[in-house]
Structure 1
Amino acid sequence: MKIITWNCNMAFRKKASVILAYKPDILIVPECECPDRLNFGHESQTPTDILWFGTNQHKGLAIFSYSDYRFKVLDNHNQQLRMIIPVYVTNGLFDFNLFAIWANNPADPDGQYVEQVWKAIHHYDDLILSRQTILIGDFNSNTIWDRQHRKSNHSSLVQRLEEKGIYSSYHLHYKQVQGQEQHSTFYLYRHKDKPYHLDYCFMSADIAERLTSVEVGDYDYWMKYSDHVPLIITLN
């Protein structure tokens, strides 16, 4: 299975073929326009299942299947955490809970970025398990900003997930330390000298055992499409 997250920086309809060349089974796309505005013509594969969430038709969170995986939003979806979506993913052989994430809620006075994910892992505590769990997307957070976010900071988030047996696939694969990442997934204003690692795929230990590769997109190629590069996870 190949699962990809890519913040497309809007206008996904014009860029879909670029990311679909990597043949994802599941694709998480923050800043994607609503499905009514998408046009899957002959140049782009039509998804087999779609979920989309947002209040701005030009800029929401999309979850696509390009395989036999199907999605069902879990009943206890917290509407206040509107860009963190709990989804049951099934294909009859390998089923799991997936939390699609775009940590971006300016309306929350407690904080719009890492605070959103912090709230979510507590609200969905009984669903985020040491088995059959993936959290993936644009977390808009990194350990380097811990001091700005009190207790609900990135390091606390990572620690809480690791206590539950859930780990960052990138950091496992590349043996990296949080906040000292070798690869960046976001470039502020698309400037190469302003790199940050903001996109993650956390997975439970049973899924991590199947991890075969983690790829981070190349700056020179992807900056003509977005200020983010894709994070590509392959499982056997």
Structure 2
Amino acid sequence: MIHRLKVLTWNIRQGGKKAILQIVDSLKEHRADVIVLTEYKQNQTGAFLTSELRQAGWHHIQSSDPPNRENGILILSTYPLETCEVPFSNEHGSHRWNEVYLPTHHLFLLGVHVPNVNETYDKQFFWEQILEHSERRSGIRSIVAGDFNTARSDEKKRAPKKYSNFIMKMEANGWTDAWKQIHKDTLDYTWYSHKKNGFRLDYIFLSPDLSGRLTECCLSHHERIENFSDHSLLIAEIR
């Protein structure tokens, strides 16, 4: 019987570049069952990453197949994965959306990287897709994780929170912000600007059926402090 699921999400900054060895070592150390990596690039560095982690036990891997030089999403799992269809086209940036089904847990997992306002793809469109997804999956065990490039309006005054209302709409649909549920009003951040101004941009959201099963949610800042990436890791455990 499977008693828990440990999920990790991390923006590895432009595919990992020169820190790829440290990124691989960090992921091995955290030993999550399922890993969602944003800003994954399908190049030589990406091939090294997938090869190393496959050998380390993450035998089930699904890429969002990002175009050359663009950022995508890589999902790695110690459990079998089944592919789910992307609900929109390449023109809207479908490589920033990667959903899988874990039959061992009867659970859907969506990895996302919401575009920022100054990027090619439309941020509002992505948020609308996530909200529609949360409505479709509200009655099923489901997780949405990744980099949302959005801060909660109830956490920080000066933050990229223009689309924060979508987070509130997800919560109105019964979804849980894992970090918020565990840490309540404690403020901590997943990304810091060059001016050392912090924002919480990375999230793990749980569907209504999973919210009561959350046992832990934490951030690992070591990797960001050591400059392996400009984002911290976010980890949640579900029984």
- Which category of TM-score, normalised to the shorter sequence, fits these structures? 0.7 to 0.9
Q: Which residue matches 1:17?
A: 25
Q: Which residue matches 2:177?
A: 168
Q: Which residue matches 1:157?
A: 166
Q: Which residue matches 1:50?
A: 61
Residues 44 and 227 from structure 1, CA distance in 2 versus in 1: closer, same or farther, beyond 3 angstroms?
farther
**Shift, 1:116, TM fit:** 4.3
**Shift, 1:163, TM fit:** 2.1
Q: Which residue matches 2:112?
A: 101
Confirm or deny that 1:27 pairs with 2:38: no
Report the Cα distance in structure 1 between the residues aligned to 2:198 and 2:183, rounded to whole angstroms.
18
Aligned mate of 1:76, from 71, 75, 87: 87
Tell me the alpha carbon deviations over residues 75-100 of structure 1, each in whole angstroms, 9 at most, x when there is no partner. 635442424425232233x1222221
1:18 counterpart SS class? helix
Query: Comparing both structures, which one devotes a greater share of its residues to helix?
Result: 2
Q: Which residue matches 1:120?
A: 129
Q: Which residue matches 1:131?
A: 140
**Shift, 1:165, TM fit:** 0.9
Report the Cα distance in structure 1 between the residues aligned to 2:76 and 2:177, rounded to whole angstroms.
22
**Shift, 1:25, TM fit:** 0.9
**8 Å CA contact retained: 2:86, 2:97:** no
Report the Cα distance in structure 2 between the residues aligned to 1:21 and 1:164, rounded to whole angstroms.
35
Which one-letter code corresponds to 1:209 in the other structure?
A: G
Q: Which residue matches 1:228?
A: 231
Residues 26 and 125 from structure 1, CA distance in 2 versus in 1: closer, same or farther, beyond 3 angstroms?
closer
**Shift, 1:147, TM fit:** 8.6
Q: Which residue matches 1:186?
A: 191
1:124 counterpart SS class? helix
Residues 64 and 175 from structure 1, CA distance in 2 versus in 1: closer, same or farther, beyond 3 angstroms?
same
Residues 42 and 168 from structure 1, CA distance in 2 versus in 1: closer, same or farther, beyond 3 angstroms?
closer
CA RMSD of the aligned region, Å? 2.8
Report the Cα distance in structure 2 between the residues aligned to 1:38 and 1:82, rounded to whole angstroms.
21
The answer for unaligned runs of 5 or more in structure 1 is: none
Residues 58 and 28 from structure 1, CA distance in 2 versus in 1: closer, same or farther, beyond 3 angstroms?
same
**Shift, 1:146, TM fit:** 7.6
Which one-letter code corresponds to 1:5 in the other structure?
A: T
Which one-letter code corresponds to 1:16 in the other structure?
A: V
**Identical pairs, percent:** 18
TM-score (norm 2): 0.79
Report the Cα distance in structure 1 between the residues aligned to 2:81 and 2:126, rounded to whole angstroms.
24
1:104 counterpart SS class? coil
**Shift, 1:187, TM fit:** 1.2
**8 Å CA contact retained: 2:114, 2:127:** no
**Shift, 1:9, TM fit:** 1.1
